[in-house]
A = this chain, B = another copy of it.
Amino acid sequence: MSTDEPGPPSRGAGFVRFRLDLAYDGTDFSGWAIQPERRTVAGELTAALRALVGGPERVLALTVAGRTDAGVHARGQVAHLDLVHGIEAPTVRSLNGLLPPDIRVRNIAPAAAGFDARFAALARVYAYRVTDRVPDPLRRRDTLLWPRRLDDTLLQAASARLLGLHDFAAFCRAREGATTIRTLQELSWQRDSDGVLVATIQADAFCHSMVRSLVGALLAVGEGRWPVERPASLLGAVRRSDAVAVVPAHGLTLVEVRYPPADELAARTRITRAIRVREPGPDT
């Protein structure tokens, strides 16, 4: 079975496509993508699918919306699974019965015509959790501890300046042939009832390490080390900025992938394919 290959855009002659909704605790995974000798989310999922459905001659593709990096979590990950026509799809219960407890399948259902988990997506939404107070030990797996006080107002002000269509190359790990132009649709901060700062970050898509680089630049503002204008001043740069620290993976969770209505899925897939070239590797 190939994973993350673009694959046919809809129900084809010989296969049926299913949509999978997934959640995982990324702590003990080397990210989504299969790697030799590493424990990965796609690797565990593929092993469970093979046990239930069969080998690569029956499972044609497993493609994910957000190829999360090592240590990154997901609550609202979406993938599609192409099975040879006539093969029965596994149930949520059968998959979860075989999967380790740090991955849960939330739903599996036949995909709407034209659905492609990666290319039909309108937007990805991530959350980044950081605390500048004494941390809750029960949330230490998904919350970054920041050793200095963070100013909510400075974080908001610096974030607002980053919104919109920009070249985010300063915040991206270089990848040959991949565009770094993205539309940042939301970047806002809220303190939850425990005082944890939660950033909500939404874009059409993210280049590699973009969320963690944006948060790193913003925390420099929040602690008063950088002026509020500095993150936005890096927009449009042609390459990655050495000044931007990439914050650790464990504070980051993919919370949602947004898709258009069913009748616009196929058109959206065509548009996305035309804009973005193929980008291997993780995109968080």
Contacts and interface: CB of A to CB of B under 8 A. Distances in A.
Contact of A136 (B23, B96, B137): B23
A103 B142 CA distance: 16
Contacts of A92: 134
| Count of chain copies | 2
Contact of A141 (B105, B134, B138): B138
A14 to B, nearest CB: 31
Nearest to A75: B136
A101 interface: yes
Nearest to A141: B138
B142 A25 contact: no
Contacts of A134: 23, 92, 96, 104-107
Given A25-B140, A73-B137, A96-B134, 9 more contacts: A23-B136, A24-B137, A25-B138, A73-B138, A101-B140, A102-B140, A104-B136, A104-B137, A106-B134
A269 interface: no
A149 to B, nearest CB: 14
Interface pairs A-B: 8 shortest CB-CB? A25-B137, A106-B134, A25-B138, A102-B137, A104-B134, A104-B137, A24-B137, A138-B142
A45 to B, nearest CB: 13
Nearest to A140: B101
A138 to B, nearest CB: 5
A101 B143 CA distance: 12
Interface in A141-168: 141-142
Interface in A52-105: 73, 75, 92, 96, 101-105
Contact of A137 (B101, B135, B138, B140): B101
B96 A138 contact: no
29 contacts: A23-B134, A23-B136, A23-B137, A23-B138, A24-B137, A25-B137, A25-B138, A25-B140, A73-B137, A73-B138, A75-B136, A75-B138, A92-B134, A96-B134, A101-B137, A101-B140, A102-B137, A102-B140, A103-B137, A104-B134, A104-B135, A104-B136, A104-B137, A105-B134, A106-B134, A107-B134, A138-B141, A138-B142, A138-B253
